[in-house]
Amino acid sequence: MNAPPPLSELRKRFPEAFRVSETLNSAGFQALFAGGCVRDWILGRDAKDIDIASDANPDEVEALFPRTHAIGKSFGVIQVMEGEALFEVATFRRDLDQTDGRRPGRIEPSTPPEDAQRRDFTLNGLFLDPISGEVIDYVGGLEDLAAKRIRAIGDPRERFREDHLRMLRAARFAAVLGFEIEAHTRTAIRERAPDLQRISVERIRTEFVRMLTESPRPGDAVALLDDCKLLEQILPEFLDLRGCTQPPEFHPEGDVWVHTLMMLNELKNPSPALALGVLLHDIGKPATRSEENDRIRFTGHAQVGAEMAETWMRKMKFSKAMREQVTGMVDRHMNFMNVTKMRKAGLRRMVGRPHFEDELELHRIDCLCSNGITASHELLTQAKAEYEAEAALPEPWITGKDLMALGIEQGPGIGKWKQRAYDEQLEGRHPDKAALLGWVKEGIRDKG
């Protein structure tokens, strides 16, 4: 493990946090940076925020700072606004009466060593004195950081009983940091994995999506969840991909499980929608698999997969917009194999879709992790470049009002002629609206 950056770098990034600590120190209180920010600073990672632990109680913190929010006061936490930045100042505490698998029933003031013992993992139990730069380690966190190890503080079963989400957090830390989960901690996760069902799906969803989008190898992250018995609690349908064999001429890499994990590992800083689209794109294959005359088929698997994705995403309470984007990606991912036969209008419609770039990336890695045929990707990449100078889907020249002026009665006929006229426009067969309107008039006359 390399030496952490100079403390001055952290001060440069979070000057307001240092001012909060200095104010507490000046008033005679101890103030330490705590948890993930210390871990990330030691690892040379970009800390997202700073949490401050102090022996000042909430009333004393409120008295010292003019702008505060008492959102977590009953748990010893006060939010302090310094400049434009917001920080949590938490009183050193001991958690008591933890019965709901999420939060303590009550707390009492404690000391820094006792406060460290209530935290989840050793790498999150470190303190940093922002004045001296000393790292204070009561739990062996520095040793575990050097060993790239995720280890629960104290009895892992007790830590996971206190907050069931810690099991999923252990897997996320391991996947994102490239660490191993210590043996006793991993065993406790496997034993208590069903407890995950007792907490809200929103908390599970947030951790799961972070794993998929922040891990350098999301496929390995999913495999780790499986090894820890957590995947079956989150997305049991995914387990059916293992052993679902595919035609070797199209998928020499192996079964659907192997194929999907390979695809996930190709993702680099994906959007949540793309990560979920890749995860779920072949979820319908086990349900649609058939074999006749030694030929394997998955008839309609994209549509079945989209329905399965919708059901699971509703259960996990994803937003409607996210559900529509991901299920659309799953539903349409097989359309890419036909693009070499598409007319220009079809290509323009595909390229003009709102989330086309994510769909194209899914297609690219789908090819990369199967037969390697990239003709469709190359054609679409070229089409995208050609349309960048203009809107891929321009405004239609012919409107419903134009068609009604030609004598078409309001109803299904209007929609049909609008579609035909727009296809003609996208194909580039007419130089302007007047010419296209003439084509419509002639068509109406011929059909009249």
What pLDDT, on a 0 to 100 scale, did the predictor assign at position 156?
Answer: 97
The SS3 assignment for 208 reads helix
With beta carbons less than 8 A apart as the criterion, state whether 194 and 161 touch: no
pLDDT band with cut points at 50, 70 and 90 for residue 30? very high
Q: Distance (Å, rounded) from C-alpha 182 to C-alpha 170?
A: 10
- Give the number of other CB atoms < 10 A from CB of residue 215: 24
Stated as kind and residue range, the H or E segment containing 34 is strand 31-34
Q: Distance (Å, rounded) from C-alpha 418 to C-alpha 229?
A: 54
For residue 326, is it within any domain? yes
Q: At residue 336, does pLDDT exceed 90?
A: no
CATH code of the domain covering residue 220: 1.10.110.30
Amino acid at 151: R
Stated as kind and residue range, the H or E segment containing 180 is strand 180-181
Residues 6+ apart with CB under 8 A from 258: none
Q: At residue 126, does pLDDT exceed 90?
A: yes
pLDDT band with cut points at 50, 70 and 90 for residue 392? low
Residues 6+ apart with CB under 8 A from 427: 343, 344, 345
pLDDT band with cut points at 50, 70 and 90 for residue 312? very high
Q: Is the same domain home to 367 and 314?
A: yes
Residues 6+ apart with CB under 8 A from 306: 284, 327, 328, 330, 331
Report how far Cα 191 is from the mean position of its chain's Cα atoms. 26
Task: Give residue-wise pLDDT tens across range 48-92.
Answer: 899 999 999 999 999 999 999 998 898 899 999 999 999 999 999
Q: Is the same domain home to 60 and 209?
A: no
What pLDDT, on a 0 to 100 scale, did the predictor assign at position 99?
Answer: 61
Q: At residue 346, does pLDDT exceed 80?
A: no
- Give the number of other CB atoms < 10 A from CB of residue 71: 11
Mean pLDDT for all residues in the chain: 90
With beta carbons less than 8 A apart as the criterion, state whether 112 and 138 touch: yes
Q: Is the same domain home to 245 and 369?
A: yes
Q: At residue 388, does pLDDT exceed 70?
A: no
Question: Which residue, 151, 72, 81, 80, is CA-closest to 119?
Answer: 151
CATH code of the domain covering residue 45: 3.30.460.10
Least confident interval from 46-60, 103-117, 307-321: 103-117
What pLDDT, on a 0 to 100 scale, did the predictor assign at position 102?
Answer: 63
Enter the tokens of residue 159. Answer: 């830590």
Domain containing 427 equals 400-447
13-41 mean pLDDT = 96
Q: At residue 105, does pLDDT exceed 70?
A: no
With beta carbons less than 8 A apart as the criterion, state whether 275 and 209 touch: yes
Q: Is the same domain home to 79 and 130?
A: yes
Q: Distance (Å, rounded) from C-alpha 297 to C-alpha 246?
A: 8
User: Above pLDDT 90, what percent of the chain?
Assistant: 69
Q: Distance (Å, rounded) from C-alpha 324 to C-alpha 330?
A: 10
The SS3 assignment for 15 reads helix
Least confident interval from 97-101, 176-180, 200-204, 366-370: 97-101
What pLDDT, on a 0 to 100 scale, did the predictor assign at position 173?
Answer: 97
Task: Give residue-wise pLDDT tens across range 411-437.
Answer: 777 888 888 888 777 767 787 888 888
CATH code of the domain covering residue 337: 1.10.3210
pLDDT band with cut points at 50, 70 and 90 for residue 103? low
With beta carbons less than 8 A apart as the criterion, state whether 37 and 47 touch: yes
Enter the tokens of residue 24. Answer: 């507490």
Q: Distance (Å, rounded) from C-alpha 87 to C-alpha 37?
A: 12
Least confident interval from 32-36, 165-169, 386-390: 386-390
Q: Is the same domain home to 306 and 327?
A: yes
Domain end, chosen from 114, 145, 176, is at 145
Phi, psi values for residue 64, rounded to 5°: -85, -25
Domain end, chosen from 234, 267, 287, is at 234
Q: Distance (Å, rounded) from C-alpha 191 to C-alpha 208?
A: 20
In the block, which residue shows the tokens 């049909």? 416
118-143 mean pLDDT = 96
What pLDDT, on a 0 to 100 scale, did the predictor assign at position 365?
Answer: 95
Q: Is the same domain home to 380 and 262?
A: yes
pLDDT band with cut points at 50, 70 and 90 for residue 101? low
Q: At residue 448, does pLDDT exceed 70?
A: no
Task: Give residue-wise pLDDT tens across range 281-301.
Answer: 999 999 999 998 889 999 999
Amino acid at 169: R
Least confident interval from 20-29, 61-70, 185-194, 394-403: 394-403
pLDDT band with cut points at 50, 70 and 90 for residue 397? confident
The SS3 assignment for 71 reads strand
Most confidently modeled of 188-202, 336-350, 425-439? Answer: 188-202
Task: Give residue-wise pLDDT tens across range 233-243.
Answer: 999 999 999 99
Distances (CA, A) of 295 to 19, 218, 285: 69, 31, 15
Q: pTM value?
A: 0.83
Q: Distance (Å, rounded) from C-alpha 204 to C-alpha 206?
A: 6
Q: Is the same domain home to 21 and 128?
A: yes
Enter the tokens of residue 433. Answer: 């609206």
